Amino acid sequence: MSVIGAFPEAQCSAPQGAWSGLWQRGRGGSLLPGEVLPGLLARGTLMAEFVLERGQFGPLSLVHMATHADWPRLFSLAITTEGRLMLRQRQGDALAAVSLDAADLLAGGGALRVSFSWDAPAGQSVLTLESLDGGAMRQRAGANPLPLPAADLDALLTGHGAAVHCSALRWLGLARGQMPVGPGALFAPSTPLETPKGPRPAAQILAGDWVNTLDAGVQKVQWSGRVRLPALGALAPIRLSAGRFAKSTDLWVLPQTQVAVTDATVEYLFGTDAVLVEARYLVDQLSVTQIERPVVLSWHGILLRGHHVLIADGFGLESLFLGALAGAPELAATTALAPLVATGAAPLHRRPALRVLRPFEAASLAAARSRFHAPVAA
């Protein structure tokens, strides 16, 4: 059975936008089943993931599409030598551009995700860059974006003809409408979470409900919501095998989701009885597996007033951690938590529930577990 095929996804509709097609390095790209490109896409989102070496700057053309078929057209997404992320469009005599100063994020390297959302009738666009390794995000609003013709959309999705995708690009996705950026998802919608009334699937837990936590007892849910994301690159799902983690349920999480680890190894290495570690650092392709596929999966998030550790079939998974995002309302309004932000109810999270391991510490923990074959428990 395919690992992706076994993903326990509940039926739901995508928030705000709907994915139309995906391109993956080494596999090419195509429309998703049932999707048809419009003659002109007036509102949409182009999302792409790329990887840079630490300290690597431009000039680097991430996506470039130029043609004179019918009339001169250009779509270019590139990094400049000054560390700016720049998107340019041309259709005949019409021009549009938006750029973002992201030198600090780009200098750190690693996996980065760029999103360009446009609404041509409204004359608005948003360019966003996210560091998938560091969690930081930068954003810039643009004006008067140009709608994309079907021929250009097809070239961008397939990487053929007039379009060129650079070698640093992992994948690219196209959606109709605006897709949210930033935080909003952690685990599969069917993840069983402990509540005062017993375990319930995450998808059935609503704002105002109560959940049990490992670190702070019973807590009230501030927000419960869903996003749909390509199962590619740094978003490829991770399966935590039953028995080694949860008692009897395979848990599916996004790679950046932090899980709670408690055992003698943690106490020996870090002098504390519990830590949080991102799931991606535990991947061993045995009890923790990760496989990417050109499909779109639903993910769920649970937000509490503070950052706490939820209980999933006996195992600890974090609730959403917003940090200072609520202090940047314009940025937060483009995330899946936009309805909460609009009411001023988004909380500030000043610190995580437990100590969070840094990458080198996570590597030490993984090595120790490999040597001693210690089970993961929380």
Cis (ω within 30 of 0) for the bond into 59?
Answer: yes
pLDDT value at residue 66: 94
Token reading at 349: 């999270």
Q: How many CB atoms lie within 10 A of CB 264?
A: 11
**CA separation (Å) from 155 to 14, 150, 172, 233?**
25, 9, 12, 21
pLDDT value at residue 13: 35
β-strand partners of 75: 65, 89
Q: Which helix (H) or strand (E) holds 257?
A: none
- Are 107 and 55 a contacting pair, CB within 8 Å? yes
pLDDT value at residue 17: 74
pLDDT value at residue 64: 95
**CA separation (Å) from 204 to 61, 187, 211, 301, 307?**
44, 13, 12, 12, 20
**Would you say the pTM of this structure is higher than 0.75?**
yes
> Which residues does 52 contact at the CB level (< 8 Å), separation at least 6?
106, 109, 110, 112, 168
- Are 214 and 378 a contacting pair, CB within 8 Å? yes
Round to whole Å and give the CA distance between 83 and 102.
6
Q: Which amino acid is at 355?
A: R
Is 275 exposed, middle or buried (CB count within 10 Å of its CB: 0-12, 13-18, 19+)? Answer: buried
With tokens 């999480």, the residue in question is: 253
pLDDT value at residue 15: 42
User: Cα–Cα–Cα angle for 331, 337, 342, nearest 5°?
Assistant: 75
Is 241 exposed, middle or buried (CB count within 10 Å of its CB: 0-12, 13-18, 19+)? Answer: middle
| Local structure of 267: helix, strand or coil | helix
Chain centroid, CA 100 distance in Å:
20
pLDDT one-digit tens code per residue, 91-136: 999 999 999 998 988 988 899 999 999 999 999 999 999 998 878 8
Dihedral sign for Cα atoms in the order 199, 205, 211, 212:
positive
Task: Give the strand pairing for 309-312 and 315-318.
Answer: antiparallel
With tokens 């995700």, the residue in question is: 113
- Are 58 and 77 a contacting pair, CB within 8 Å? no
Residuewise pLDDT in 10s, the chain (378 residues)? 345 656 675 433 334 579 999 999 999 999 999 999 899 999 999 999 999 988 787 799 999 999 988 889 999 999 999 999 999 999 999 999 999 998 988 988 899 999 999 999 999 999 999 998 878 899 999 999 999 999 999 999 988 778 999 999 999 999 999 999 998 899 999 999 999 999 999 999 999 999 999 999 999 999 999 999 999 999 999 999 999 899 999 999 999 999 999 888 899 999 999 999 999 999 988 899 999 999 999 999 999 999 999 999 999 999 999 999 988 989 999 999 998 988 989 999 999 999 999 989 999 988 887 776 544 554
Round to whole Å and give the CA distance between 54 and 295.
30
Token reading at 299: 């993910």
